[in-house]
Amino acid sequence: MLHAVSRLRAARLALSTKPFLARGGFKRERCEGCRLLPSHCLCALRPATPTRAGVCLLMADIEPLKPSNTGWLVADVVADTFAFGWARTATDPALLRLLSDPQWQAHVVFPGEYAAPGRVVRTALPADAVCSAGGLPRKRPLFILLDGTWAEARKMFSRSPCLDALPVLSLQPAEASEYTQYKLRRSNRDDHFCTSEVAAQCLHLAGEHTAAMTLAAWLDVFTHHYLQARNQLPVAWDGAAHRRWREVNGPAGEAGRRPQLAPTLSTSCTTGTCPTC
């Protein structure tokens, strides 16, 4: 099933005048469902974790095209993930409708040092707190993540009037260590995390602990498959990433999904060309 990031990627590709070539990545055929080589496809492992919280990804221009983008992984795990391309001169009307939807309590996730002190909050409403003290339904947490390079994220934060009235959720780096395992891109600052790491920490703050751990483990598995494919090495199904995946999802999380000697095809892969994971 196509999710919000895959749809945004398709729309962005439709506007491209030439093929997008990822810097430093492999140039061979990729699975449309997970962006990996067919031999390293992850589609059959894709998790299904119910959440009450939602995630809104505001993505820089070419970010949906990057095979290493981890906003894609957030959309794999969190069913209510929304994705919009960012432009300085225009705001997607669908984004404005989402922000005005009364079922959501939106937070912009960004370092508090860049926001007015009165906007900064350190905690989010737990997603399992369904009712308020008066018995009325509570709004569902919606975490707005600015998905791009650090320079792009700062630009999106400072030049998006539609976000100016929203509270800013500032994460604490010391509390996020459990979710920081990203190895595909590097930042010069210890308090900069990839998009899926930020989303996992937000889910944790919202009380969505199972989803947070699933997303963190999903990032580990994706990173392992990506690096193994880039280095032309096989998947280590008994390695650390897959051991953690089984700890989070149980042995059934990989039952019947490891590569087999017979060249049967995955029923979950969107291309229909990759070996079953």
Tokens of 269: 């892969």
Classify residue 254: in a domain, yes or no.
no
28 part of a folded domain: no
pLDDT at res. 220: 94
Largest CA distance in the chain: 61
Number of separate domains in the chain: 1
Confidence at residue 262, expressed as pLDDT on a 0 to 100 scale: 31
Round the average pLDDT of the chain to a whole number and report it: 82
Is 253 part of a structural domain of the chain? no
Tell me, yes or no, whether 163 lies in a domain: yes
Residue 56 domain-assigned (yes or no): yes
Specify if 136 maps to a domain: yes
Query: Residue 270 domain-assigned?
Result: no
In tens, the pLDDT along 21-47 reads 555 555 668 898 998 999 999 999 999
From CA 170, how far away is CA 104, in angstroms rounded? 19
Residue 252 CA to residue 246 CA, distance in Å, equals 8
The CA distance from 117 to 3, in Å, is: 35
pLDDT value at residue 215: 95
CB atoms within 10 A of CB 88: 9
Region of poorest pLDDT, from 18-22, 83-87, 93-97, 217-221:
18-22
Q: What is the pLDDT of residues 217-253, one digit of tens each?
A: 999 999 999 999 989 999 999 999 999 999 998 765 6
pLDDT digits (tens, 9 = 90+) for 156-197: 999 999 999 999 999 876 555 554 554 444 545 555 688 999
pTM for this entry: 0.84
Range of the domain at 184: 47-213
Would 246 be classed as within a structural domain? no
Q: Model confidence at 1, in pLDDT bands (50, 70, 90)? A: low
